[in-house]
Amino acid sequence: MPDLSQLRDTLDAIGQSHILASFDGLRPDQQRSLLEQLRGLDLCALPGLIAAYVTSPPCVAMPDDIQPAPYYPNDPASAFRSWDRDHFRAAGEALLRAGKVACFTVAGGQGTRLGYEGPKGCYPAGAVTGRPLFQFFAEAIAKTGKKYGKMPPWYIMTSPLNHESTVAYFEAHEYFGLSRDGVSFFPQGVMPSFDIATGRVLMASCERIATNPDGHGGSLKALSVSGALADMKARGVEHISYFQVDNPIVRVADPVFLGLHAAAPDSSGEMSSKMLAKAYAEEKLGMFCLGDGKLQIIEYSDLPMERQRERLEDGRLRFLAGSPAIHILSVAFVEKVNADPKYALPYHRAEKKVPCIDPATGEAIEPESPNGVKLERFVFDAIVLAERSIVYEADRVEEFAPIKNAEGTDSPQTSREIQTLRAARWLGSVGVEVPWLEGTDAEGNGCKRPDCTIELSPLTGVEAADLCGACAGLEIARGSRCVI
Ligand code: UTP
C-alpha cells in the first residue's frame, strides 16, 4: 500500500482531497480498489489538464490558412484526378496475401445515443435476421481470408465497462466461426470525469472514481500497452485496418485503400483515411482540410458554417470531404506516436450528465443537465503526425450504413435501407432481377428504392464481384425479405 499520508498530502495540494474523504470507513477490499484506481492516474498532471480543458473550455487553435484537402476520387477516371486503381489494388492484395494486414475494431464507446443495453457490437443490425454487428465483421474477415489465402488477425478494443461482456459474447457465439487464436481483445484506458464547475474529480461512489473511456484516440496507446502491437509484429503484420463498431457494411480490409496507403507516391504509408462526399453543407461530419499545408480533420463545429457552405463553380461543396472514421495506420507509425511525448494527442472536452455522489454526504446525484466534463482523445488527431497522408473517396451506399442513433439519421432503420440498397445494386450487377419501386425523396425528386428487404452475408461477398456465380438463378419477389 502506498504511503497514505503522502497520498493525502498530494491530493490536498492539487485540490482533490475529497477522493479519500470516506476512505477510513471503507472495507479493506474497497480501500484497495480505490487506491488501485488512484495509482492508475497521473496525479501530477491533473491540475494542468483541469486548467486547460475543464474549468474553462479550451480555445480551438485553427490554422490560419484552411483549404479543402486533395483526395483520390472514387472514380479513377475522374476529370480532376485520374489514377490507376488496378495498380493500387494489386499492391493491396499483395499485402493481404502476405499476411501483412490486421483488422482493428474500436468498440470501447458507450453508445449512449443508441441507448442499447450491452456492447454496441452485439446490436442486431442485419436487415432481415438481425445479424449482430460483430458477426458482420467476423464474416467479412473470414471472406477476406478465404479470398487471399491468409486470415487477417482481428483486434478488438473494448473498454473496462464492456470488456467482459464482449469476450463472453464471442465465447457464446463461438467466435462466429473464426479461430480463437485470430481474435484478440484488449480494454482501452479511462480518464476521470470532472465536475464541470469546480474541476474536482467526480466520485461514482465512496470507493470509486467516476471514469469514462479515453476516446478512440486512446487506441494508439492501448494497442501498445496491451501487447497487441507486439503480437502484430510477431505475426508479421505491418498495417492496421481501423474501423468503428457501428457500420455493418464497412470494408474491413479494402485492397485498393491498402494499396494507396502503402504505395501511393504522396503517402508515407503511416496513416491514411477514407472520405465521403458530404451530402449537404450542414452534415455533421469532420472535414478533411489542409491547414497551413498539413492534412487534418477539422470538426464540423469548428469550421464556420459560411465556409462549410462555400461552393465551387460546378455547384459542388468546396469542403466536400467528410470523415467516416475509416483509416489505415502502419504498426511503425503507432510505435512512433507512442514513443515520444511530443506526439501525445490532445484531449477534447464534452459536457455530459455523469451520475455521481456528493462526497460530503455520500448522497447519490442523478443530474438532469450536464454536470461533468469528459476528456477524450480522437484518433484523427494523429493524421498531422504522419509525414504524408492520403485521403481516398468511398461510395456511401457501398460502405457506410452507420448505426449511431435510435431513430432518424444514422439509425437502425436507415442502416437496413442502405444494406438493402447495396445488396440490390450488387445483385443487379451480376444479372439478378431486383424489384424496384419508383417514388420521391424528401426534396420531392424522383428516386427508386428496392421493393424488398435484403440481408447479404459478407461470407457471400465483400464486394459486388464476389457475387458472380454465387447467385445464379436467384429470384426475388416484390415485398419479400431475403437473406443471401
Ligand atoms: P462514437 O463517437 O459514436 O461514440 O464512437 P460512442 O461512445 O460509441 O457513442 P455515443 O456518442 O455515446 O452515442 C465512434 C467509435 O469509436 C469507438 C466507439 O465504440 C465507436 O466504434 N470509441 C469511442 C471507443 O472505442 N472508445 C471511446 O472511448 C469512444
* Cα 111 to averaged position of ligand 1 atoms, centre (Å): 6
Where a domain ends, among 360, 392, 407? Answer: 407
- Residues 457, 136: Cα–Cα separation, whole Å: 7
Residues 317 and 423 in one domain: no
Residues 403 and 416 in one domain: no
Axis-axis angle for helices 255-263, 85-97 (nearest 10): 100
DSSP per-residue letters across 79-103: TT----HHHHHHHHHHHHHTT-EEE
- Residues 130, 124: Cα–Cα separation, whole Å: 4
Structural domains in the chain (count): 3
Instruction: Give the residue, by CA position, lying nearest to ligand 1 atom 2.
Output: 109
pTM to 2 decimal places: 0.95
216 lines ligand 1 (CB under 6 A): yes
376 lines ligand 1 (CB under 6 A): yes
* Cα 196 to averaged position of ligand 1 atoms, centre (Å): 21
One-letter amino acid for residue 56 of the chain: S
DSSP per-residue letters across 257-271: HHHHHHH-TT--SSE
* Cα 245 to averaged position of ligand 1 atoms, centre (Å): 8
Under a CB-based contact definition with an 8 Å cutoff, are residues 212 and 193 in contact? yes
Where a domain ends, among 361, 392, 407? Answer: 407
Where a domain ends, among 386, 407, 428? Answer: 407
461 lines ligand 1 (CB under 6 A): no
Which of 103, 104, 110 gets mutated to test ligand 1 (max ligand atoms within 8 A of its CB)?
A: 110
Residues 26 and 76 in one domain: no
Pairing mode of beta strands 391-393, 271-277: parallel
* Cα 215 to averaged position of ligand 1 atoms, centre (Å): 7
Residues 104 and 194 in one domain: yes
Residue 62 lies in a domain: no
Residue 81 lies in a domain: yes
Residue 59 lies in a domain: no
Output the pLDDT for position 440: 84
Under a CB-based contact definition with an 8 Å cutoff, are residues 186 and 228 in contact? yes
One-letter amino acid for residue 293 of the chain: G
User: What is the atom index within ligand 1 of the atom nearest the CA of 105?
Assistant: 21
Residues 418 and 381 in one domain: no
Residues 35 and 76 in one domain: no
410 lines ligand 1 (CB under 6 A): no
Residues 310 and 332 in one domain: yes
Output the pLDDT for position 2: 57
Residues 352 and 478 in one domain: no
Output the pLDDT for position 444: 83
Residue 257 grid cell: 485503400
Residue 454 lies in a domain: yes
User: What is the atom index within ligand 1 of the atom nearest the CA of 246?
Assistant: 21
* Cα 107 to averaged position of ligand 1 atoms, centre (Å): 7
pLDDT, mean of each 10-residue run, the chain (484 residues): 84 96 95 94 93 86 90 93 97 98 97 94 98 98 98 98 97 98 97 96 96 97 98 98 98 98 98 96 94 92 92 93 97 98 94 94 94 96 97 97 96 98 96 92 85 97 94 92 96
Residue 247 lies in a domain: yes
Instruction: Give the residue, by CA position, lying nearest to ligand 1 atom 27.
Output: 215
Output the pLDDT for position 215: 97
**Residue 418: domain span:** 411-484
Residues 417 and 304 in one domain: no
Instruction: Give the residue, by CA position, lying nearest to ligand 1 atom 1.
Output: 109
Residue 61 lies in a domain: no
Residues 291 and 382 in one domain: yes
Residues 17 and 77 in one domain: no
Under a CB-based contact definition with an 8 Å cutoff, are residues 240 and 328 in contact? yes
- Residues 407, 192: Cα–Cα separation, whole Å: 30
Residues 116 and 199 in one domain: yes
